Structure 1
């Protein structure tokens, strides 16, 4: 391990921040950016899911490349890809295609938007590689503190992105995307000039076999393990439901309440603030007091309640009801995600931890890919509120899987019995 420089931490932090901000600036504005090309929920869902599909497919390869060739070239390549993807997206939405005779009325602009999102998604391995940089420069006893930078950067990105995007979007809907391109370009310059290589040649590993880079291989393994199969299915269904209704959320706000970018961005800003507070400060004491199993079920209840509130809102009470709904949603998600991961972890001995917990990230990405197109299809075919009711049904199934997944013996059961005696 090499001596850590302040510039190394700075580059890792900015890279993690860029990873979250690039997505959180663009995502709440997708319906407004797409308005010139399509108002169809199916198109929006596919566009939202394409980023997660590319990320799901490419992440194992990016991790292997960083182990083989070093962290710096891989991070630089990924950030450059982010600049290219966001730049192509910005250029496409800013172009007046009606003035281009050979392109007017064609599907070329939409095709370019999908290519841009796929490029940005393939380049989304920056978070994992930046985390590897932090692991390289930190001794084992200080890694938890170093990894705290990941949570800080992600939380800050989820707060700054929607807030900045919403405000700038009121001035010009294309402006937030240009800002995201500029931030990614600054990140690239920082990486190229200040980031040292933290993975020395003697520590590098050969590329794994092609089969090992298949993201579905790890998922097959986790579902053959009866100890975690039920909880992993619950984890997948949770992200399928959550990413489904959030993908059409802003489109629903736009069409049902005539909201603009500022109000839509404020809703996601509230999500970022609440989720950061819960996962950054409250989750530890809450787990100590109530345990992961109870908090997972309580969190699912909050998410279901938030889903219920959104379609009950009217134009007259939209702001207080929707802002309350998204706060409740964020509270529930902030409880479910870490607690469900912990429940899976506690079902396994130390030898199975890495593979299973890595598979959870794959399940999250797969749910993030499948959820938005399914919600967009439901939005168009069965009514604009149907994705919320569909998500409530899926979340109820998740709660049933978690509630029925409490083992009769083992560490999880012991913890539950302790919780009961304390209660």
Structure 2
């Protein structure tokens, strides 16, 4: 089951284990893949899709952040609804929302609009908000996996989440870049089509895995308020500094990555194919680091040292990108984003683990759910702030500002080591 923040619990009714596994696993996997694939196709193409409407950094940042804002607001409610009414109707509704949001976005960018028209921008923001509000599918799909899997096999089942996310971050930019050769709007239609296939599979194959006997009442309104949980975890002396660092990391990271493609477009005159290749490299490197290297590295160095090392690599990559010579742009940028992705692949799981290990078992769910809320909040605030900085202070300013924030994160983490026996 999942709590209000989408955290999967470790108890599942025995009746749920009798559900058909293959259709259920296929439905959950496609839902998880669609969750990442639609975003990884759309996001790198936003500056090119916006070119006919408004190409400034502020608009790009707000549009990039609007998805995260809607997801931040809706995820607690979606988790609670799946516990109250079941997984199948919630997943079906969320995927239908994804089809609607992506479809509206595709229609809007495919139409001819009068120059300076406000309506298309309003429709684009509406489409992103719809997609974000229905973007809580990952938590509910994870709950489906918990429902049908015995406790001793859950680690393997939850590996599907990592596989789906990794594939989404790799396939999305590749497909987007290749299809953009035909027309920059084609990848958005393909993403819409994949979401529609996902919806048909869910409606046709996914059984209800959450028995009525295990349904839970809706929580109180204040328990669905993500800000209340954030305030609680930030105020916790055991993990407050680390959680604040977690928020600042995603504020910085999502800030400069939101304007990255716009920077490539204006600084190096790159088209969609080269721009999406940079994100493809990020997906491949981050998947290799988190999928194969993080375990041995944690055993050798510990989470605290890995977090600091990863932050150093992210700062280095962040500063190398604007230092790249336009005459050697591809080599400079691709190596820089590889360094960046390596650092991110180290920081995210290590910092989560640092928070988790400082808490007893009773505080795990709330704290880790709050980390997701902090990540969404940082993902919302970072892009508009970076876009504003890009327009007012210059192209390099988001990179420098993000590097300064990441140094602050290093100071927060550096002052919060684990006891020496657990390093």
Q: Does 1:307 align with 2:318?
A: yes
Contact 1:170 1:260 in 2 (8 A): no
TM-score (norm 1): 0.95
Q: Which moved more, 1:215-224 or 1:239-248?
A: 215-224
Matched residue, 2:106: 90
Q: Does 1:167 align with 2:178?
A: yes
C-alpha displacement of 1:106: 2.5
Distance across 1 between alignment mates of 2:273 and 2:181: 6
Q: Does 1:236 align with 2:251?
A: no
Unaligned runs of 5+ in 2: 1-15
Distance across 2 between alignment mates of 1:113 and 1:21: 19
C-alpha displacement of 1:149: 0.1
Matched residue, 1:419: none
Q: Does 1:357 align with 2:368?
A: yes
Distance across 1 between alignment mates of 2:116 and 2:75: 36
C-alpha displacement of 1:224: 1.6
Q: How does 1:74-153 map to 2 (within 5 A)?
A: 74-98=90-114, 105-153=116-164
In the TM superposition, what whole-angstrom CA distance separates every residue of 1:133-182 from its partner, at most 9, and x where no partner exists? 00000111111110000000000000000010011112100000000000
Distance across 1 between alignment mates of 2:210 and 2:62: 37
TM-score (norm 2): 0.95
Matched residue, 2:13: none
Matched residue, 2:26: 10
Q: Which moved more, 1:309-318 or 1:45-54?
A: 309-318
Contact 1:70 1:198 in 2 (8 A): yes
* Match 1:318 to one of 313, 321, 329: 329
Output the aligned Cα RMSD.
0.8
In the TM superposition, what whole-angstrom CA distance separates every residue of 1:70-125 from its partner, at most 9, and x where no partner exists? 00000000000000000000000000013xxxxx6331100000000000000101
Distance across 2 between alignment mates of 1:276 and 1:142: 22
Distance across 1 between alignment mates of 2:364 and 2:138: 20
Q: How does 1:361-376 map to 2 (within 5 A)?
A: 361-376=372-387
Q: Does 1:195 align with 2:176?
A: no
Q: How does 1:197-236 map to 2 (within 5 A)?
A: 197-236=208-247
Distance across 2 between alignment mates of 1:66 and 1:348: 27
* Match 2:420 to one of 389, 409, 413: 413
* Match 1:47 to one of 63, 69, 72: 63
Unaligned runs of 5+ in 1: 99-103, 417-423
Matched residue, 2:349: 338
Matched residue, 1:420: none
Contact 2:53 2:116 in 1 (8 A): no
C-alpha displacement of 1:413: 3.3
Distance across 1 between alignment mates of 2:117 and 2:320: 39
C-alpha displacement of 1:18: 0.3
In the TM superposition, what whole-angstrom CA distance separates every residue of 1:26-82 from its partner, at most 9, and x where no partner exists? 000000000000111000000000000000000000000000000000000000000
Q: Does 1:388 align with 2:399?
A: yes
Distance across 2 between alignment mates of 1:132 and 1:248: 34
Distance across 2 between alignment mates of 1:106 and 1:29: 21
Matched residue, 2:274: 263
Distance across 1 between alignment mates of 2:140 and 2:252: 28
Aligned residues: 407
